[in-house]
Amino acid sequence: MILDYSMMQWVLSIVVGISLSRFINTVALIGRKKSRIKFDFLLVSILFATTTNMIHWWFNSPDYFSNIEGKYIPYMFVFLVIIFYAIALESLLPSSSELESADTVDFREIYFHQKDFFYLAMATIGLIIVGLYILYPEVEGLAFGLESKTVEIPVLVIVGIILPVIFIISYNYYLHVFQTILVLLGFTSQVIKYATTMN
């Protein structure tokens, strides 16, 4: 089997397209039912961050796949990262039946009810990224870009694996808010970095 990006981009487009269509459909349904919804910072922010991260991976997928064409294991694991982003997004989206039937939809309640599977997916992404960073350094752009591997690997393990596990265990609202703010700050710094490199 030949592993090249021209084949993979179709599969990625289908995966991302299905997730985005479900996300757009949910947002439209929320807009129609907004009088019955109790909005919460956590769910809205995490959905925004996860969706934009998945789109970021999709747009940058040519760079991620270009150096590993023909290498089956890293190729499949990079693909799995995007699959798990789609799973994470799907796990947090409120179902259409939930939005249609309930008298009041509490976003905070939905977040804490569905967060475990979301953070399990995120921990799996972290585990894959750590493995790829150690075993296949030719997969570029996965890590934070720190100069030393001895610093980068512990940071990746803490941020990508340990923190999601902590958030599976913890139900402290303010701890989750703090983590969400860090995620949004990280996303903002990525946007600024890419905007400056484009100029």
Tens of pLDDT along the chain (199 residues) come to 556 777 788 888 898 999 999 999 988 888 888 888 888 989 999 998 888 888 888 888 888 887 787 788 888 898 898 899 899 999 998 887 777 776 788 899 999 999 999 999 999 999 998 998 888 877 766 666 666 777 788 888 888 899 999 999 999 999 998 888 877 776 776 667 666 766 5
Q: Which amino acid would we find at residue 139?
A: V
The pLDDT score that the predictor gives to residue 169 is: 94
Indicate the pairing of strand 105-106 with strand 37-38: parallel
Three-state DSSP class for residue 136? coil
**What is the per-residue pLDDT for 116?**
94
Report the pLDDT value the prediction gives residue 123, as an integer from 0 to 100: 94
- Alpha-carbon distance 101 to 123, whole Å? 32
**Tokens 């799995």 sit at which residue?**
80
Backbone angles phi, psi at 134, to 5 degrees: -80, -50
pLDDT at 56: 82
- What pLDDT shows up at residue 64? 80
Q: pTM to 2 decimals? A: 0.85
Strand ranges inside the chain, DSSP E: 37-38, 105-106
What pLDDT, on the 0 to 100 scale, is given for residue 146?
A: 63
Residue 157: partners with Cβ closer than 8 Å, 6 or more residues away? 126, 130
Pick from 197, 138, 185: nearest CA to 159: 185
pLDDT value of residue 136 = 84
